[in-house]
Amino acid sequence: MIRRLLSVWHARNLEFVRDRGTLVFTLLLPVSIIIGMGFIFGGPPRPLFKVGVIGGTAAAHGDTFLHTQYVQFIDIQSAAAGLHAVRRQRIDLLLAPGRPPRYWVNTDSPKGYITEKLLLAADPGAQRAPVSGHAVRYLDWLFPGILGMNMMFSCLFGVGYVVLRYRQSGFLKRLNATPLTALEFLSAQVLSRLTIIVLITTVLYLAVGAMIHFHSAGSLALLLLLTVLGALSMIALGLTIAARFASEELVNGILNLLTWPMMLLSGVWFSLAGSPKWVRWVADALPLTQLLHAAREVMLYGAGIGTIAPTLLYLGVVTVVFLAFGAWSFKWRI
């Protein structure tokens, strides 16, 4: 029995080691996750409070409050944008430097209360301008993230594995002998998965939204358009991976390498506002980040098409690029 077991064990090990692509990804994935997590969550202690400074911190260099530890000072370009952020409790206090400085604080915000005490301790003459407004519930903030994450897994794994299975079974080879082109085949896969995802996401939105008493502040039609473009971009990304490879383990490795950073960097669970610039740069390039950012703008803050137009354009371009690359690199057979 041991001999048979060892024989199969040895053969399987050879199979795994000789599948170089899979081997590389098996090693690469945990290393890249550890490095990525280290960059995101490492570094000095995080600031406890966020203060917006109208005109930027450079314009207020003499202000002693700006040297307070564990407070993050964020440059705010206009008073209107700053007030919107204070009302939504995205920042704890808004400061307009000057003599005396003015500040706006949200009377509904506990963190605003503490930040105000810190400011007055540093500069007792600062003039107060109270505002009010409730913070977005974490549940409401999380809701688009969960829907987006579900879409991402369905897009990447749903399409990637299906095409891989078709290739392994020889079904793609049979299709290759028909007038069907690679672009037609890939487009059909995209549309099929898109139909499924839009239906499932709509059902989830309605059902979970009713459960948690969520009401979108923005247009549902715009949200649908965003869902379609977001799903298209991620399906097309899945197809570029499945376009060539024939190894199940390799495709699994690459899909994991894509989904993990998207899960961590795209703002599904938490905001990356305080992360290093390069992390935010990488995150912004991911379709899921773009989708979630725009979805939250529409769902939570009632943004219109003008606000999220750049995101819609980006997702559209990404879809076309991925699909064209997938069709170009597509292999019908092993």
Partner 1 sequence: MTSPILEVRDLVKQYPGVTALDSISFSVPEGVCFGLLGPNGAGKTTTIEIMEGILTPSSGEVRYRGEPLGSRFREEAGILFQATALQNFLTVRQSLAMFRGLYAHGRDIDELLKLCSLEALAERDNRKLSGGQLQRLLLAIALVNDPAVLFLDEPTTGLDPQARRNFWSLVRAIKAQRKTMILTTHYMEEAEILCDVIAIVDRGRIIAQGTPAALLREHFAAVLLELPRADVPAAARTLPLQMIESEARIEITTDDLDATLRTLLEAEVPLRNLRIRPPNLEDLFLELTGRELRA
Name the segment binding partner 1 (CB under 8 A); options: 2-10, 132-140, 175-183, 274-282: 175-183
Residue the block writes with tokens 């703008």: 297
User: What does the alpha-carbon distance between residue 198 and residue 120 come to, in Å, rounded to a whole number?
Assistant: 51
Among 9, 16, 70, 171, binds partner 1 (CB under 8 A): 171
> CB under 8 A: which stretch of 58-66, 163-171, 198-206, 218-226 binds partner 1?
163-171
State which of residues 88, 90, 173, 244 lies at the interface with partner 1 (CB under 8 A): 173
**Is residue 334 within the footprint of partner 1 (CB under 8 A)?**
no
Figure out which of the listed residues 17, 43, 174, 334 binds partner 1, where binding follows CB under 8 A.
Answer: 174
> Mapped to the 3 state alphabet, what secondary structure does the chain carry?
CHHHHHHHHHHHHHHHHHCHHHHHHHHHHHHHHHHHHHHHHCCCCCCCEEEEEECCHHHHCCCHHHHCCCEEEEEECCHHHHHHHHHCCCCCEEEECCCCCEEEEECCCHHHHHHHHHHHHHCCCCEEEEECCCCCCHHHHHHHHHHHHHHHHHHHHHHHHHHHHHHHHCHHHHHHCCCCCHHHHHHHHHHHHHHHHHHHHHHHHHHHHHHCCCCCCCCHHHHHHHHHHHHHHHHHHHHHHHCCCCCHHHHHHHHHHHHHHHHHHCCCCCCCCCCCHHHHHHHHHCHHHHHHHHHHHHHHHCCCHHHHHHHHHHHHHHHHHHHHHHHHHCCCCC
Residue 168 beta carbon to partner 1: minimum distance, rounded to whole angstroms: 9
- Identity of the residue, 103 or 166, whose beta carbon is nearer to partner 1 in the bound complex: 166
Residue 178 CB, nearest distance to partner 1 (Å)?
Answer: 4
Our finding on whether 176 is near partner 1 (CB under 8 A) is yes
Taking CB under 8 A as the rule, does residue 196 contact partner 1? no
Near partner 1 by CB under 8 A, which window of 172-180, 221-229, 300-308, 321-329? 172-180
CB of residue 247 to partner 1, shortest distance in Å: 18
Q: Which of 130, 170, 276, 316 binds partner 1 (CB under 8 A)?
A: 170
Applying the rule CB under 8 A, the residues between 46 and 85 that interact with partner 1 are none
Residue from 41, 78, 333, 334 touching partner 1 (CB under 8 A): that is: 333
CB 158 → partner 1: shortest distance, Å? 14
Of 175, 198, 246, 324, the one binding partner 1 by CB under 8 A: 175
The amino acid sitting at 41 is F
Nearest-approach distance from CB 250 to partner 1, in angstroms: 21
Stretch that binds partner 1, among 34-42, 170-178, 201-209, 276-284 (CB under 8 A): 170-178
SS (H, E, C) 216-233: CCCCHHHHHHHHHHHHHH
Among residues 67, 178, 211, 306, the one that binds partner 1 under rule CB under 8 A: 178
The binding site for partner 1 (CB under 8 A) comprises: 166, 169-171, 173-180, 332-333
